[in-house]
Every structure is written in C-alpha cells, then in structure tokens.
Amino acid sequence: MELSMVLKEFWKELKKAPGTAWVGLAIIVFYVFLAVFAPFLTPYGESEVVGYEFEPWGENFALGTDNLGRDMATRLIYGARNTIGIAFITTALTFMMGSITGFMAATLGGWFDQALSRVVDILMAIPSLIFALLILTITGTSIPALIIVIAVLDSTRVFRLARAVSMNVVVMDYVEVAKLRGEGLWWIMNREVLPNATAPLVAEFGLRFCFVFLFISALSFLGLGIQPPTADWGSMVRDNATLITFGDITPLLPAGAIAMLTVGVNFVVDWFLQLTSGLRDEH
C-alpha cells in the first residue's frame, strides 16, 4: 500500500476518533516537538550553571533553578529529549529481540521453544527493578548498558505476547503450505506470521514504551539511570525533592511531565485497540 493511501486511511479513522485520542496525540506531538527542537527552545545550555541554588520562579528563570543553579525550564525541555529518546530506542530494541525470538519459538516449536520459554520464565520470575539494579551495579550506568539491560529484561514480556499470537497463526493451512513449498524460517515469519501479529504488537509497543519510560525514570531517581549532568526527569525529582518541605512544587514538574506523557500514550493505545478489535463507541 502506498504511503499516500496509508495517510488517507489514517486521517479517515482519525476524524472518527474520540476526544481522548486527539488529546493523546496532541500530548505526544507536543513532547516530540520539545525533544526535537530543545536546543532552539531553551535560553541556556543543558548543564549550564546560570544562578544560585534553588532560586524562585521569576523573570530571569521562569521555573526557578535546581540544586546546582541550573535553569529548571531548560532542564525540563532537555529531559524530554533524553528520557523519551532513550526510552524509545530501548523499546524498539526490546520489540526487535522479543518479537523475533517469539516468532521463532512458535514457528520452530519443539526443544527450541521449550528451552527459550524456560529461560524467559526464569527471567520473569525475578523482579525487574531488583534485577536491573543488580546488573547495572556490576556493568556500570552508561547509557548503552542501561538500554541493553532494560531491553533484555523487558523483551521477555514481548516474547510471551509474540509467541502466544504466533501460536494461533503457525497452525493455519497457509503456513503449512508455505513450509511444504520449502519456504525458509525468515520468509514464513516475515510474510505469514508478522502481518497477523502486527495489531497486538503495535498496541503492546505503546504500553511497553510507558513501562520502559517509567522504569528509566525510577532508575534515575535511585541514581542508577541516566547519569548527570545529562538532564533526566527522574533524577530531577530526586535532586530537587527537598523543596517540597518548603511548599515549593518545582520537584513535581518533572513528575507531572512523566505522568502526562504516560496518560497521552495510553489514550492513543486505547484508541488503537478499539480500532483493531472492531469495537466502536456508539455514544
């Protein structure tokens, strides 16, 4: 299908979308805009010290300064670029690993399926946050290590979904015909299994992005996520938490940014699930 046809079909469905979907899309577009154009939207550098510690909101600093005297508004905008960008890359790697292994397990079956499923069961039995803290303590807290550790841990959930969906596809007659024709494993997964598993996987991508996004923020809050001086919403909450005792809501701004993006993504995922399930709101 040509790109123009896809866009027309998307616009057709979007015009019938509920208000929550429009709100979710607007939130996502806003955050993407901040992430892409962060250097042009901020008056200062990401790590530039421009004032005293914890200066109040005012003319010079719209949202005050943080614990080191850096502009909070600048840090919030750069936090969108860093947190969302790393979460998206991690989620994409998660799905690449989880969906490919899930499709292979369902298509090949036998000992390969059993061995891979047992490994996944072991990984899922360990609490993800504790496991990530242990691994990152050993490997270090660089961004590549953070991405790989979270992707491996989270790919177990994607594996389960991809395998479950594929199990219903690989028993179909057209898959058996493809095998009899001598088609290879990759051809069957790409041409027969993937098209029938796209809808649930796309919906899961949105939900998994939220979990990864929150997971990275939690690790940063604990000091093992994105490291300073890189701006990150989780670490910004931790660094400025002392202001809450003085009635200052500044530490709640990065927390609110996390919550708003999570709500926006969930609104869009709910709408997509409604489309793919064939359900329509009659009210």
Mean pLDDT of 57-71: 84
Closest C-alpha to 157, from 91, 85, 224, 89 = 91
7 in a structural domain: no
Residue pLDDT, tens place only, 150-204: 898 889 989 998 888 888 887 777 777 777 787 777 888 888 888 878 778 888 8
Residue 65, SS3? strand
- Is the pLDDT at 7 greater than 70, yes or no? no
- Is the pLDDT at 226 greater than 60, yes or no? yes
> Could you tell me the CATH number of the domain that includes residue 25?
1.10.3720.10
78 in a structural domain: yes
At residue 281 the predicted structure's pLDDT band, cuts being 50, 70 and 90, is very low
**Backbone dihedral angles phi then psi of residue 238, each to the nearest 5 degrees:** -65, -45
At residue 1 the predicted structure's pLDDT band, cuts being 50, 70 and 90, is very low
Mean pLDDT of the chain: 83
197 in a structural domain: yes
Q: What pLDDT sits at residue 280?
A: 45
Mean pLDDT of 7-22: 76
**Domain tally for the chain?**
1
Q: What pLDDT sits at residue 30?
A: 93
User: Counting beta carbons within 10 angstroms of the beta carbon of residue 270, is it exposed (0 to 12), middle (13 to 18) or buried (19 or more)?
Assistant: middle
- Is the pLDDT at 258 greater than 90, yes or no? no
Between 281 and 178, residue with greater pLDDT: 178
Please tell me the distance from the alpha carbon of residue 105 to that of residue 118, in angstroms, as a whole number.
11
1 in a structural domain: no
- 69 within 8 A of 53, measured Cβ to Cβ: yes
Residue 73 to residues 42, 68, 140, 146, 242, Cα–Cα distance (Å)? 8, 14, 29, 26, 18
Residue-number span of the structural domain to which 219 is assigned: 20-277
Residues 6 or more apart whose Cβ sits within 8 Å of residue 271: 17, 18, 20, 21, 24
Q: What pLDDT sits at residue 126?
A: 82
76 in a structural domain: yes
Mean pLDDT of 68-87: 88
Kindly report the three-state secondary structure assignment for every residue of 138-173: HHCCCHHHHHHHHHHHHHHHHHHHHHHHHHCCCCCH
10 in a structural domain: no
Buried b (16+ CB within 10 A) or exposed e, 22-36: eebbebbeebeebbe
Mean pLDDT of 125-144: 82
Amino acid letter at 115?
A: A
193 in a structural domain: yes
3 in a structural domain: no
> Which region among 7-21, 148-162, 203-217 has the lowest average model confidence (pLDDT)?
7-21
Task: Flag whether the pTM goes above 0.85.
Answer: no
Structure tokens at 178: 């493809």
